[in-house]
Amino acid sequence: MLIREELCVGCGQCQPYCPTAAIGFQGMKSVVDQDVCYECGTCLRVGICPVDALAEHPMVYEYPRALRKFFSDPSATHKATGIQGRGTEESKTNDVTGRVKPHEAGIAIEVGRPTLGMGLHDIQKISQALARAGINEIEECNPIHSMIADEATGTLKEELLGERVLSAIIEISVPKERVPVVLQTIKEVAKEVDSVFMLDVFSTLGPNLEIQPDILEMITDAGFNWRPNAKINMGLGRAWE
């Protein structure tokens, strides 16, 4: 995003809307720090500017800066998934797609959340740690997959490492017996990242919303706890295509 200096009246109303505090005063005008801006478009979308001084950056759709937009603006559709957002349909349509089967578990690492954002070098730290542990099951339809230059090492494409995004999700599906090694790897790499991430584990359910006991045991054994709230697929979907 940018603020057209000739139009800005310096009211500062846009500044608190920026999730990453990229907007500040320079003299009597508001300016956007282009290094910090994630291109999420929030300031423009809420229509807070009284003089329409906010505008998109001219390079916002140019690679690699475009990644900021695709990963940070909820209304932008990522060409890798065709979905508005950073990930895939994951557990949300599992009743229809069977993406994660009863003997498997899905694991999502929501890097940059909540709200903090991150440099893509944090993604690389995690993808390299997973690769070192022999975990190469990163979901192919996930946008992260197309950013990896070398699957054997988990190294990202060089030109991406200077970019920043509000969030990106590494999604993995593994047989249940591999959950402990994935969680242990994530626990170790968590000490190295500059930002934060939310960690999700999803699996199919037994009758009466019974969570698979071995999944819960693996989570506990890895030193994690689960929160009392969760996202639950109610089993009402079916395929017809």
Partner 1 sequence: MTHSLHREGTRDSLERDYVVFIYPARGFNYKGNQPKVRHLVEIIYQNEPVNMISTSLRQNLYSEVPHEDVLDSISNGDESTRVYSCFKNRENIKQLLKDFKEADEGISIMVSGLVDRVRDLAAEVGLSPHTINLSLGIQGNVSRLPPPDIRQFTTMCGHGVVSPNLVRDHIRKVKTGRTTSWDASVALAKPCACGIYNPYRSKEMLDDLTPVYTVSRW
Q: Which of 169, 170, 179, 182 binds partner 1 (CB under 8 A)?
A: 169
Minimum CB distance to partner 1 smaller for 6 or for 213: 213
Q: Which of residues 148-167 bind partner 1 (CB under 8 A)?
A: 166-167
Using rule CB under 8 A, residue 93 touches partner 1: yes
**Binding footprint of partner 1, residue count (CB under 8 A):** 81
User: How far apart are CB 105 and partner 1 at their closest, in Å?
Assistant: 10
Give the burial class of 197: count Cβ atoms within 10 A of its Cβ; 0-12 exposed, 13-18 middle, 19 or more buried: buried
- Joined together, the tokens standing for residue 115 give 């709200």
Contact at 8 Å (CB) between 139 and 148? no
User: How far apart are CB 116 and partner 1 at their closest, in Å?
Assistant: 6
- CA 205 → CA 40, 139, 237, 238, distances in Å? 35, 21, 15, 17
Residues 6+ apart with CB under 8 A from 19: 38, 40, 42, 115, 117, 166
Q: Which of 55, 59, 97, 184 binds partner 1 (CB under 8 A)?
A: 97
Angle, to 10 degrees, between the axis of helix 179-189 and the axis of helix 120-132?
A: 140
Q: Which of 8, 32, 40, 67 binds partner 1 (CB under 8 A)?
A: 40
Q: Which stretch binds partner 1 (CB under 8 A): 1-9, 62-70, 149-157, 185-193?
A: 185-193
Using rule CB under 8 A, residue 42 touches partner 1: yes
Q: Which of 75, 136, 146, 153 binds partner 1 (CB under 8 A)?
A: 75
User: How far apart are CB 6 and partner 1 at their closest, in Å?
Assistant: 26
Q: Give the Cβ contact number of residue 163 at 10 Å.
A: 21
Give the burial class of 192: count Cβ atoms within 10 A of its Cβ; 0-12 exposed, 13-18 middle, 19 or more buried: exposed
Minimum CB distance to partner 1 smaller for 16 or for 134: 16
What is the enclosing helix (H) or strand (E) of 2? strand 2-3
Q: Which of 9, 21, 51, 149 binds partner 1 (CB under 8 A)?
A: 21
Using rule CB under 8 A, residue 110 touches partner 1: yes
